[in-house]
Amino acid sequence: MAVPETKQKIIGRSLPRREDPPLLRGQGRFAADINFPGQWIMRVVRAPIAHGEIRSIDASAALALRGVHAVWTYKDVAHIPRIPFRLTGLKTLEPYQQPVLADGVVRYVGEPVALVFAEDAYIAEDAAELVEIDIAPRDVVMNASDAPGAFDDGHTTEADVIRKGYGDVETAFRNAHAVVSLELVVGRHTGVPMETRGAIATYDAARDLLEMHGAAKVPHWNRDTMARMLGRTPQTMHLHEGHVGGGFGIRGEIYPEDVAVCAAALAFERPIKWIEDRREHLIAANHSRQQQHRIRAAVDKNGTILAIDDEFFHDNGAYMRTHAATVPDLAAAMLPGPYRVPAYRAVGHIRLTNKTPCGTYRAPGRYESTFVRERLMDAIAAQCGLDKVEVRRRNLLPQSAMPHDVHLDTLGTHIVYDSGDYALLLDKALRLAKWDALQAEMKARRATGETVGAGVAMFVEKSGLGPFDTVRIEIKTDGVEVVTGNASVGQGIETVVAQICAEVLGARYETINVVHGQTDRIARGMGAFASRVTVMCGEATRMAAVKLRDIVLKAAAELMQTSAERLDIADGQIVSGDGGASMPLTSLAGLTAEDTFESSHMVYPYGVHIASVRVDAETGGVTVETYAIAYDVGRAVNPRLVEGQLAGGLAQGIGGALYEEFLYDEAGEPLSVTFADYLMPTAHEVPAPLLLVTEDAPSPLNAFGLKGAGEGGVNPVGAAIASAIDDALQQPGAVTQLPVTPQRLKALMKR
Partner 1 sequence: MTEKQSITLTINGRAHKIAVEPRRTLADAIREDCGQTGTHIGCEHGVCGACTIIVDGAPVRSCLMFAVQAGGKPIRTVEGLADGDKLHPMQQAFMDHHGLQCGFCTPGFLMLAVGVLEREPDISDADLIDVLSSNLCRCTGYQNIVKAVRAAAEEMRK
Which lies closer to partner 1 via its Cβ, residue 485 or residue 644?
Answer: 644
List, in order, residues 6 or more apart from 377 with CB less than 8 Å away: 339, 388, 391, 392, 395
Report the nearest approach of partner 1 to the CB of residue 681 (Å).
Answer: 8
CA distances (Å), 109 to each of 55, 189, 355, 388, 539, in order?
16, 16, 7, 44, 44
Report the nearest approach of partner 1 to the CB of residue 673 (Å).
Answer: 10
Alpha-helical regions (H) of 335-387: 366-384
Which lies closer to partner 1 via its Cβ, residue 162 or residue 497?
Answer: 497
**Angle at the Cα of 360 (from 355 to 363), degrees rounded to 5?**
130
Which lies closer to partner 1 via its Cβ, residue 17 or residue 355?
Answer: 17
Report the nearest approach of partner 1 to the CB of residue 3 (Å).
Answer: 21
Query: What is the SS3 assignment for 331?
Result: helix
Report the nearest approach of partner 1 to the CB of residue 88 (Å).
Answer: 26
H or E element that contains 131: none
Which lies closer to partner 1 via its Cβ, residue 20 or residue 134?
Answer: 20
Report the nearest approach of partner 1 to the CB of residue 660 (Å).
Answer: 11
Count of alpha carbons within 13 angstroms of residue 449, beta-carbon side: 2
Closest CA to 457 of 653, 696, 685, 625: 653
Which lies closer to partner 1 via its Cβ, residue 18 or residue 223?
Answer: 18
Interface residues with partner 1 (CB under 8 A)?
Answer: 14, 16-17, 19-21, 23-28, 30, 32-33, 66, 121-123, 126, 191-196, 243-246, 248, 277-278, 489-492, 640-641, 643-644, 647-652, 674-676, 680, 682-684, 686, 688-689, 713
How many residues in the chain? 751
CB atoms within 10 A of CB 66: 8
| Residue 305 contacts residue 297 (beta carbons within 8 Å) | yes
Residues 197 and 224: their CA atoms lie apart, in Å, by: 20
Residues 100 and 89: their CA atoms lie apart, in Å, by: 19
Which lies closer to partner 1 via its Cβ, residue 178 or residue 680?
Answer: 680
Report the nearest approach of partner 1 to the CB of residue 34 (Å).
Answer: 9
Residues 114 and 708: their CA atoms lie apart, in Å, by: 41
H or E element that contains 531: none
Report the nearest approach of partner 1 to the CB of residue 624 (Å).
Answer: 12
> Which class for 305: exposed (0-12), middle (13-18), buried (19 or more C-beta within 10 A)?
buried
What DSSP string describes 166-200?
ES-HHHHHHT-SEEEEEEEEE--B----SS--EEE
Which lies closer to partner 1 via its Cβ, residue 705 or residue 713?
Answer: 713
Report the nearest approach of partner 1 to the CB of residue 16 (Å).
Answer: 5
Report the nearest approach of partner 1 to the CB of residue 296 (Å).
Answer: 35
Which lies closer to partner 1 via its Cβ, residue 245 or residue 271?
Answer: 245
Instruction: Give the end-to-end CA distance of the chain in Å, rounded to a whole number.
Output: 48
Sheet holding 68-72: strands in order across?
A: 68-72, 112-118, 40-46, 272-275, 198-204, 209-213, 237-240
Report the nearest approach of partner 1 to the CB of residue 487 (Å).
Answer: 12
List, in order, residues 6 or more apart from 704 with CB less than 8 Å away: 11, 500, 538, 539, 542, 634, 635, 637, 698
Which lies closer to partner 1 via its Cβ, residue 69 or residue 278?
Answer: 278
Which lies closer to partner 1 via its Cβ, residue 126 or residue 696?
Answer: 126
Which lies closer to partner 1 via its Cβ, residue 213 or residue 293?
Answer: 213
Report the nearest approach of partner 1 to the CB of residue 248 (Å).
Answer: 7
Residues 511 and 454: their CA atoms lie apart, in Å, by: 47
